[in-house]
Structure 1
Amino acid sequence: MVEAIITKNDSSFVDGLKAGVSIAVGYMPVALTFGLLARTTGLTLYEAILMSILVFAGAAQYITLSLIAIGTGAFEIIFTIFIVNIRHLLMSASINEKVEEDTPWKKAIYAFGITDETFTVSATKKGVLTTGYMFGLCLISYSSWVIFTGGGYIAGATLPEVIQQGMSVALYAMFVGLLIPTAKKSRKVLFLAGFAAIFNSILTLAQFPTGWAIVIATLLSSVIVEWFMGRRTNE
């Protein structure tokens, strides 16, 4: 009990800011790259920054850029991002058990700032967390992401036109770079990516709209892989 109280007293707003410094630094190159790619995708500076302000989810924003680049409709983009970000419901519910009781509107504010990184930092901190700690942790991470999104977009204007156009390829290269190391460690990820690619190719050849082909392929591959892995676990 005494240890929990001491830990709680040590989780102030300033402590949250300090804990989030490493996250803010880590977000810098990723946000800069996002801003740069947003420019090559055709977004305006205000649209790129507004996306970071309203979405604040790296993977979701990168996926959105790739969907915009191929002309996907708004509904398909929203639905796809909902599937990608559904894990945030579980993360927020988990963190809610560690943070002190407070008014719902305050919880809603810092819940918006829950990312994979802020979740990891807050979940591994011992004791009861204060609302101030969560505000500090999320604020510095959020500020870094938004500011460097704008910085990346502006910096992109200084690059030669040829390089700016070539950066669109970097978006797909980045996804491949993220997929391969994960697939090596997890057969589930490998099967998921493989099935999604097969289904998307079939639907595309069947002349499905690009956005819906991605959505359906994602859902089908997820259901099949989860069903298959679930059966193997039960056997």
Structure 2
Amino acid sequence: MEALINTRKPGDFRLGLQAGISIAVGYFPVALTFGLLARTTGLSFYETVMMSLLVFAGAAQYISLSLIAIGTGVFEIILTTFIVNIRHFLMSASLNEKLEKEKGWVKAIYSFGITDETFTVISVKDGKVKTAFAFGVILISYASWVVNSGLGYIIGEILPQFLQVSMGVALYAMFVGLLVPSMKKSVKVVYLAATAAALNSVFLFTTSISEGWAIMISTIVSAVLVEFVTSRNMKGEPSNE
């Protein structure tokens, strides 16, 4: 990677680092909380840091913690993570057009660092974006996420036991905090959340499906149902022409 960066204008990489500072700062409290919750969930320090190193996806990692806490199997966690991050296909396709042409292995490296935040910063830059700029944005964001995840775990070790136990509630509070702003912006999200919650309850209380599978199936079915109903309603609306 170092050789790649040196072949570009030095300013591109520096500009990328500067542009990514705001992301790094924003990741600080979220990654810190992830580290705290990972410890209360039962992960070791190395497992916590390795998850951030290898996954680097905030929402997926938080969901993984909730699934681990209820004893969900590995396959269900992987599949749920895939569904949550499926939007990355669209983001990657968009950035493929935005960034300068590169070899496939180079694209594979920086595609790992695509998150909602890095995608936004890179995509809003005017004109064709240099690879070095993208690496700068991703590197500082990635470093912040990994380091602060480990720091959060270490802080968790020195917290009183009653605070460590109560941190489990923070996991659900985090999901509520992520969901409510989206619900305020779109009625569709309200329908989606309500449908998924109702289906999940039905699966849990009327079938022998495990909690992990219930969450995953509810998510998929509710998304398909809400999208189907929404598209049908849009087709039924009278044209303004």
Please indicate the TM-score interval, normalised by the length of the shorter structure. Answer: over 0.9
Structure 1 counterpart of 2:108, one-letter code = A
Q: Which portions of structure 1, spanning 4 or more consecutive aligned residues, are displaced by more than 4 angstroms?
A: 8-11
Structure 2 counterpart of 1:221, one-letter code = S
Query: Do the aligned residues in 2 keep the contact of 1:11 with 1:130 (CA within 8 Å)?
Result: no
The range that moved more, 76-85 or 11-20, is 11-20
Q: What is the TM-score normalised by the length of structure 2?
A: 0.92
Q: Structure 1 residues 233 and 9, CA, compared in 2 at 3 Å: closer, same or farther?
A: farther
The range that moved more, 16-25 or 181-190, is 181-190
Distance 2:191 2:50 in 1: 35
Secondary structure of the 1:157 match is helix
**Would you say 1:189 and 2:175 are equivalent positions?**
no
**Would you say 1:25 and 2:25 are equivalent positions?**
yes
Counting matched residue pairs gives: 228
Distance 2:94 2:10 in 1: 21
- Provide, for residues 24-56 of structure 1, a one-character-per-residue CA deviation record: whole Å limited to 9, x for no partner: 011001000000000000000000000000110
Structure 1 counterpart of 2:113, one-letter code = G
Find the counterpart in structure 2 of residue 169 from structure 1.
Answer: 169
Distance 1:196 1:10 in 2: 49
CA positional deviation for 1:181: 2.1
Structure 1 counterpart of 2:95, one-letter code = I
Secondary structure of the 2:158 match is coil
Distance 1:185 1:103 in 2: 39
Secondary structure of the 1:125 match is coil
CA positional deviation for 1:9: 6.5
Gaps of 5+ in 2: 1-7, 237-241
Find the counterpart in structure 1 of residue 3 from structure 2.
Answer: none
Q: What is the TM-score normalised by the length of structure 1?
A: 0.94
The range that moved more, 94-103 or 142-151, is 94-103
Structure 1 counterpart of 2:219, one-letter code = T
**Would you say 1:212 and 2:213 are equivalent positions?**
yes
Question: How big is the alpha-carbon RMSD for the aligned residues of Structure 1 and Structure 2?
Answer: 1.3
Distance 2:26 2:63 in 1: 19
> Where does 1:80-119 land on structure 2 (aligned, <5 Å)?
80-119=80-119
Gaps of 5+ in 1: 1-7
> Where does 1:52-201 land on structure 2 (aligned, <5 Å)?
52-201=52-201
Find the counterpart in structure 1 of residue 239 from structure 2.
Answer: none
Query: Do the aligned residues in 2 keep the contact of 1:13 with 1:133 (CA within 8 Å)?
Result: yes
Distance 2:191 2:11 in 1: 42
CA positional deviation for 1:207: 2.4
